[in-house]
Amino acid sequence: MDYDSRAISRRRFLRQSSGLIAALLLNPRAPNSAERPNITKLIPSTGEPLPVIGMGSWLTFDVGSNADERADRAKVLQAFFDNGGTLIDSSPMYGSSEEVIGEGLKSIKNKINLFAATKVWILGKKSGIQQMENSQKFWGVPRFDLMQIHNMLDWETHWETLKEWKAEGRIRYIGITTSHGSRHEALAKAMVKTPFDFVQFTYNLEDRDVEQRLLPLAQERGMAVLINRPFNGGSLFHRVRSKPLPLWASEFDCRNWAQYFLKFIVSHPAVTCAIPATSKVDHMLENMGAVFGRLPDAATRRRMLEYFERL
């Protein structure tokens, strides 16, 4: 759910990466080889593996009826699937994003592993049902893998509907989300009270509040965790402008700052998947590089944080 068009262009960082990313861009499918399987985490409620990098669509896929922009987003989708992606996250709140995703999916041949995740964001049971049915039409999927209650809006009402839908096989997993720190306490209470399969909230190198309560609670309650705003709206890239990656980043197969930020997040034991958003194919390739290779251990994560805070 991270809109990187506000951020400084990451092309500047490509020039600092010793040619490694240049090679990746020339051969974007190369990392997804038998020698380098993608990194997955297990969904606690079922044990189903999920790649640790997914795709958000806030702002980036809200392009209306512009045919050229829609064609460009289809290329972004193709790059996502070509490099091991499965989980795509959206919401009715995101304007035309769901419709644009659905149109783009029609041209994707290798989408068999799509993990379709969207949200309900409206007051009332009947309105919620209608909104979710509309989303299914926009996406063109037989069912959603994950339906989330967006920003906790009327969550107890929608929880009852989603329990019914899950029992009927109309969805596979139920989740709840927020991107606002002011709702963390309310979310924690809901997590204690209700057996959600997934929770989604913000976590990144600048915003680590969830380390104190929500991440441990999700781990304790056996809930998968999706992370939105992994680049903090692009501000992380501004902070590292013209700064080199540390040489030791190669120890966990990190080739650029995007991967540094993402691997920090998904290496947390409670995190299942981060969902950065982009409108650019080259940025998608950078992001998806974080789904391959090694993840930093606890000591390296502390080192990453210390290095970042000194910048």
* Position 24 pLDDT exceeds 70: no
| Confidence band, pLDDT 50/70/90 cuts, at residue 25 | very low
Q: What is the average pLDDT across 7-14? A: 43
Band (pLDDT 50/70/90 cuts) for residue 16 is very low
In the chain, what percentage of residues exceed pLDDT 90? 87
- pLDDT bin (cut points 50, 70, 90) of residue 1 is low
Mean pLDDT of the chain: 91
pLDDT tens-digit readout, 155-172: 999 999 999 999 999 999
- The pLDDT value given to residue 37: 85
User: What is the tens place of the pLDDT at every residue in 37-64?
Assistant: 899 999 999 999 999 999 999 999 999 9
Query: Does the pLDDT of residue 289 top 70, yes or no?
Result: yes
The model's pLDDT over 265-279, given as tens digits with 9 standing for 90+, comes to: 999 999 999 999 999
| Domains contained in the chain, CATH given | 4-31+47-310 (3.20.20.100)
pLDDT for position 291: 97
Is a pLDDT exceeding 80 seen at residue 23? no
Residue range 214-266, pLDDT digits in tens: 999 999 999 999 999 999 999 999 999 999 999 999 999 999 999 999 999 99
Full 3-state SS string of the chain: CCEHHHCCCCHHHHCCCCCHHHHHHHCCCCCCCCCCCCCEEECCCCCCEEECECECCCCCCCCCCCHHHHHHHHHHHHHHHHCCCCEEECCHHHCCHHHHHHHHHCCCCCCCCCEEEEEECCCCHHHHHHHHHHHHHHHCCCCEEEEEEHHHCCHHHHHHHHHHHHHHCCEEEEEEECCCHHHHHHHHHHHHHCCCCEEEEECCCCCCHHHCCHHHHHHHHCCEEEEECCCHHHHHHHHCCCCCCCHHHHHHCCCCHHHHHHHHHHCCCCCCEECCECCCHHHHHHHHHHHCCCCCCHHHHHHHHHHHHHC
